[in-house]
Structure formats: C-alpha cells, structure tokens
Amino acid sequence: MARTSRWHLLFFLLPVVLWLFLLIVLPHIDLLVMSLRIENDDGNTIWSLANYRNFFNEPIYWRTFARTAVYSIIVTLITFVIALPVAFYITKVVAPRRRGFLMLLLLLPFWVSELVRVYGWMILLRESGVINHLLLRMGILDRPVEMLYNDATMIMGLVYTSMLFMVVPLVSVLESLDDSLIEAAYDLGANMWTVLFKIIIPHALPGIVSGAIVVFMLTLGNYLTPNLLGGKNSLWFTEQIYNQFIASFNWNQGSAFGFLLLLLSSLIIWAGLKLTRQNLSQVAR
C-alpha cells in the first residue's frame, strides 16, 4: 500500500518537476553558460566575463538597469496603496452577495490580452484620443496635449496591468481577519491609522509580500507596456535585452543582461523577505 502511494505521488509530481526543469532551470543554466562565452577574432569561442564588463563600462546599460529597478519598486508601492483599500472594501465593507460581482469586475479587463489593454490606454491618451477630445469640447484645453510617452503614463499603465495580482492575495488574506478585532480597537479609542498599522497590515503581511513579489517581478520583466506607453523617452532594461537578442543578434551579451536581471529580482525579493521577516512558505500559503 505504501509503495502504491509513493508511485501515485511520483506520477503526479513528475509533470511538475519536468515542467520546472525543462522550462525554468535548464533555460537559466543555458543563459548563464551563454553569458560567459565570447568569440575572439579567430571565430573561436572562449570563456570570459567580457559580457558583464561591457554592462558596467557602458553607462546607458547600468543606468537603465538601475532605473528599471527603482521604477519597478515604485510601481509595486503604488499598486499596494491602491489595492489595499479595494481589497478591504470587498472583504469587510460590501455585502457578501456582492463580493463575487466586484471580483468579476476586477477580472474582466484581464480576459483580454495585455496588448489590447495597453492599446486601449493609447486610444484614450493620445493627442487625437478620447480624453483630449472631451477636454477640447468642454473648453478646458485650447489645443490637444500629448499624454503618452512619459514616465507618469508608463507607471500608470504598469500599475493598471499589475493591479489584479496585488488585489487577489490581499482579498484572500483579509477574508480571515476577524471583524471583532477592528470593532474592539475602535471601542478602545483607536483611530483609523492605528487600526490600519496595528491590525490590518500585520495580519495581511503574507498577502502583501506575496502580491508585492508577483507585481515586482512582472513589472521588472515587462516589455510591452513600457515600450508602448513610455516610448523612447522611458528606457526599460528589457528593451536592452530585446535589442541584444533581436536587433544585434548578440545572444551572449543578451544572456548576460538577462542573468543580471534575474540576479537583481532575486536580490530585491530576498531583501524584501528579510525586511518583512517573512519566508517563502508563509508567503505561498
């Protein structure tokens, strides 16, 4: 019986292990190997750290790298600030029979691809778009204003495309928060901010960290939204990786950039877990 149970467990785990190894572990190993290779003048492949040295020798590369990291953290923070009241309203304020409807409203935009959603924002914000048209008709503007291709628009688009991945973990964890704790705090004279920082955020911390990890990684590796909404004025490191692989056909340099981006995301996530005193087992619950 025990042997049969082990075979059943192996049968169900094998596809997951193969998926992780073939699509995650193996490609990243190949990425590291390619990043350590260069071709000399004779066309021979040699092992070298030259691809990583190129990254530090070119200011455009490491400045874009740092800019991407900073803006990804900003997007994660803004997403959390917006998502927490939304999640609290759904779980603690609205009637239970309406929670499913509100969650459906959150899910609806994600039923279409990210490309369609980003183009929707472009239609709204461009010079000949809907918002400029309404402002001109109302007499607020004398001439159209270009609202696209700047950092503010790019951040707004990244927050919009990541919102669901922060709201869902927060809704899940806030559902287990006992309402009597909040009521008791108010009865004892606590104000809104005390309840928020002493009860709600400590209880929701695993969901906050879980959502922050997902949002940060999705934002850091996003290519479409920064490229379309930010344009050439909003440099993003994934564009540098794309240019190395596709435009320059320099797969070794692109692999080095990709591996550096992986190291950056891993380092920031590790620092976030340490600062919040969480571990992956708590976050994954």
Q: What is the mean pLDDT of the chain?
A: 86
Which 3 state secondary structure label does DSSP give 20?
Answer: helix
Instruction: Give the DSSP H/E element, type plus range, for residue 70.
Output: helix 59-88
Between 54 and 232, whose confidence is greater?
54
CA distance 77 to 74: 5
pLDDT at 9 > cutoff 60? yes
Q: Look at residue 140 in the predicted model and tell me its pLDDT.
A: 82
Based on the number of CB atoms within 10 Å of its own CB, is 250 exposed (0-12), middle (13-18) or buried (19 or more)?
middle
- Separation in Å, CA 222 to CA 46, 78, 85, 158: 32, 17, 25, 8
Average the pLDDT over 13-19 and give the result: 83
Please, are residues 169 and 204 in contact by the beta-carbon 8 Å criterion? no
pLDDT at 283 > cutoff 70? no
pLDDT at 4 > cutoff 80? no
Q: What domains can be seen in the chain, in order of their start residue?
A: 51-283 (1.10.3720.10)
CA distance 274 to 285: 18
Q: Could you give the angle at which helices 50-57 and 251-276 cross, rounded to 10 degrees?
A: 70
pLDDT in tens, 67-107: 999 999 999 999 999 999 999 999 988 888 888 888 888 88
- For residues 21-45, one letter each, b for 16 or more C-beta atoms within 10 angstroms of the residue's C-beta and e for the rest, the string is eeeeeeeeeebeebbbbbeeeeeee
Q: Look at residue 86 in the predicted model and tell me its pLDDT.
A: 93
pLDDT in tens, 133-172: 888 888 887 888 888 888 889 999 999 999 999 999 999 9
pLDDT at 2 > cutoff 60? no
Percent of the chain topping pLDDT 70: 94
Q: Look at residue 5 in the predicted model and tell me its pLDDT.
A: 67
Q: Which amino acid is at 116?
A: V
Q: Look at residue 109 in the predicted model and tell me its pLDDT.
A: 83
- Separation in Å, CA 176 to CA 12, 35, 48, 235: 30, 46, 53, 41
Q: Which has the minimum average pLDDT: 9-18, 26-35, 215-224?
A: 9-18
pLDDT tier for residue 1 given thresholds of 50, 70 and 90:
low
